[in-house]
Structure 1
Amino acid sequence: MIRLEGITKHYDTGSRRVTALSGIDLAVAKGEIFGVIGHSGAGKSTLLRSINLLERPTSGRVIVDGTDLTALGTKQLQEQRRKIGMIFQHFNLLSSATVEDNIAFPLKLAKTPKADIRRKVSELLELTGLTEHRFKYPSQLSGGQKQRVGIARALAADPQVLLCDEATSALDPQTTNSILSLLLDINERFGLTIVLITHEMHVIRSICDRVAVIHEGTLVEQGRVVDVFLKPQHPVTLEFVEQVSDPVELPPAADLAARLLKITFLGERTYEPILSKAVQATGVTFSILQGTISKLKQVPYGQLVVKLEGDGAAIERTIETLRADGLDVEVA
């Protein structure tokens, strides 16, 4: 659906050249929610705005739904941009226009018939939970309501892609969760491809299918959220993971007669008594030293640090049994 090939962006400031992006290669599949996370100044906003060419790359290609946007003229690019909606951190609403008129604005620019505008606006008001706020002005709305107006406006032209530029960073945690739930509902209901940037791992963990980590203009890690979250490979990724979880780590093995394991469960198997069955079959005993259960998007996962005690051969059979059941087992 979206493919970035060798995207590089330089800014010339006087005699100095600043590189915001360096050789970015990225692919986003149709219908997925793709997150880009990085610290302030890492280049994530530049990367997001490169997708609709609000920031034109110094070099590289941006291909959306089979069309190379970097090869288009001004008029053709404007037509393609109608397929790409965008929501912003600070809402960017028209302060002198009502909620209804803010949502209708892109439809009026496209010279959509009035009857179609009324119908579409009513649908979007209902979708975003704003029907009772139809005739209010932005100054009369909460931050979450303003962002819902921004989402409705971005959806007005029935885009294929929705770009989210730090869409929840100005909101409190409860409101953030409600906006994330709305984005997830929109994605599932319409199959809309969503690309979002954030500096909050909670956002990535809550709704994204895949994630890319950007650092100093370079993608340092990318993959399924499950894989990146549970086994971060880059120090920056580890920093973000630690925002939302207590690290589950193996302590030093002090007792030579025991083995310490870190076991990772994924999916519905998180709730199954796999460990209990394994030790019953082998006759070893276990103690839970540390543990957590949570969710990545809608996928449950759990991590346990346990101490196994018993016959050495029986402990080895227990470890083999757990791994044969598809669990990730790290041994101290």
Structure 2
Amino acid sequence: MIQLRHLHKSYQVQGKTIPALTGIDLSIEQGEIYGIIGHSGAGKSTLIRCINLLERPTSGEVIVDGVDLTKLDEGKLQEKRRAIGMIFQHFNLLSSSTVGENVAFPLKLAKRSKAEIDKKVNELLKLVGLEAHKDKYPSQLSGGQKQRVGIARALANDPKVLLCDEATSALDPQTTNSILALLLDINRKLGLTIVLITHEMHVIRSICDRVGVIDGGKIVESGNVLDVFLRPKHPTTQEFVEQVADSTELREAVEHEKASGNRTIARVTFLGEKTYQPILFQTMQETGTVFSILQGTISRMKDTPYGQLVIELEGDVAQNQKTIETLRQRGLEVEVI
């Protein structure tokens, strides 16, 4: 659906060339939710704005639905942009227009008939749960409601792609979760390809299928969210994972236990239905191993349940190693810390 090939973007600042993106290669499949995560200044906003050519790349290809947008003249580019909706961090609503008028705006630009516009606006407001707010103005809405209007407006021309530029970073946690649930629902109902950028790992973990980590204008790590989240390789990725992993407390606990004697500390990862099975308890009973839990969590990565426990095994090295091998044979991932 979307392919970025050898994408470069530089800016001229006081006579100097400042690179923002360097050699981006990215492929996003039809119907998936792809997240791009990075710190401020990493290049993520520039990257997402290159997808619809709000920022024109210095070099490289931007292929959307089989067409290289960089090769189009302005008229054909405008036509292709109608298939790419976009929502923004600060909503960008027309303050002097009602909710209904905001959603109708792109339809009027596309010269649709009044009957078509009214029908589509009503359908979209129902989809985002704002039927009762059609005649209100943005100043009368909460932040979450404003973003719902932005989503409805972005869907007005039946796009194939929805770009989300920090769409939840101006919202409180509860409202963020409701907007993420709405985006996931839209993705499933409409088969829409969604690309979102964020600096919050919680957002990636909640709804994304795959993720790319951007740092210094480069994609430094990418893959399925489960793989990247549970086995982060790049230091930037590890920083983001620590946002939701209580790593400071874990390090302190590990150091304390290591100082107290010859003990084995391991991280055990459960995926899918194994998350809810008593594999750890049964194995410890069978091997006669005494253990304690230093840290643990059970959660979901989009639709997949997972669990991670950091455990301390008491006993001799040989017995602990045998227990670890048994856990691995039973389908758990075990990493000795």
Same fold, TM-score > 0.5, yes or no: yes
| Structure 2 counterparts to residues 289-304 of structure 1, below 5 A | 289-304=294-309
Give the whole-Å Cα distance in 2 for the aligned partners of 1:145 and 1:43.
28
1:291–1:305 CA contact under 8 A, matched in 2:
yes
Whether 1:66 aligns to 2:66 is yes
What is the percentage of aligned positions where both structures have the same residue? 68
1:284–1:308 CA contact under 8 A, matched in 2:
yes
Structure 1 residue 122: deviation in Å? 0.7
Of the structure 1 ranges 295-304 and 180-189, higher mean CA displacement relative to structure 2 is found in 295-304
1:50 partner letter: C
Give the whole-Å Cα distance in 2 for the aligned partners of 1:21 and 1:311.
52
Structure 1 residue 65: deviation in Å? 1.1
Give the whole-Å Cα distance in 1 for the aligned partners of 2:261 and 2:280.
21
Residue 146 (structure 2) aligns with: 146
2:19 partner letter: T
Give the whole-Å Cα distance in 1 for the aligned partners of 2:266 and 2:236.
26
Tell me, which stretches of 5 or more residues in structure 2 are unaligned?
none
Instruction: Write out per-residue CA displacement over residues 257-299 of structure 1, whole angstroms, 9 at most, x where no aligned residue.
Output: x432211111221111011122233232322222222222232
Whether 1:184 aligns to 2:184 is yes
Cα 1:282–1:253 shift into 2, 3 Å: farther
1:274 partner letter: I
DSSP-derived class of the 2:57 partner:
coil
Instruction: Write out per-residue CA displacement over residues 236-270 of structure 1, whole angstroms, 9 at most, x where no aligned residue.
Output: 111111112212555437543x4322111112211
Whether 1:275 aligns to 2:280 is yes
1:106–1:153 CA contact under 8 A, matched in 2:
yes
Give the whole-Å Cα distance in 2 for the aligned partners of 1:145 and 1:289.
41
Residue 5 (structure 1) aligns with: 5
Match of 2:312 among 307, 314, 330: 307
Aligned length: 331
Give the whole-Å Cα distance in 2 for the aligned partners of 1:312 and 1:222.
36
Residue 132 (structure 1) aligns with: 132
DSSP-derived class of the 2:243 partner:
helix
1:163–1:196 CA contact under 8 A, matched in 2:
yes
Residue 19 (structure 1) aligns with: 19
Instruction: Write out per-residue CA displacement over residues 50-105 of structure 1, whole angstroms, 9 at most, x where no aligned residue.
Output: 00011110000001111111111111111111110000111111111111011011
Structure 1 residue 314: deviation in Å? 4.4
Whether 1:238 aligns to 2:238 is yes
Residue 268 (structure 2) aligns with: 263
Give the whole-Å Cα distance in 2 for the aligned partners of 1:232 and 1:311.
30
1:264–1:328 CA contact under 8 A, matched in 2:
yes
Give the whole-Å Cα distance in 2 for the aligned partners of 1:239 and 1:316.
30
Structure 1 residue 111: deviation in Å? 1.2
Give the whole-Å Cα distance in 2 for the aligned partners of 1:61 and 1:226.
29
DSSP-derived class of the 2:274 partner:
helix
1:31 partner letter: G
Instruction: Write out per-residue CA displacement over residues 157-210 of structure 1, whole angstroms, 9 at most, x where no aligned residue.
Output: 110000001111111111111111100110111111000011111111111111
Normalised TM-score (structure 2): 0.94
Normalised TM-score (structure 1): 0.95
1:253–1:259 CA contact under 8 A, matched in 2:
no
DSSP-derived class of the 1:244 partner:
coil
1:154–1:162 CA contact under 8 A, matched in 2:
yes
2:336 partner letter: V
Structure 1 residue 321: deviation in Å? 1.8
2:70 partner letter: T
Structure 1 residue 117: deviation in Å? 1.2
Of the structure 1 ranges 275-284 and 164-173, higher mean CA displacement relative to structure 2 is found in 275-284
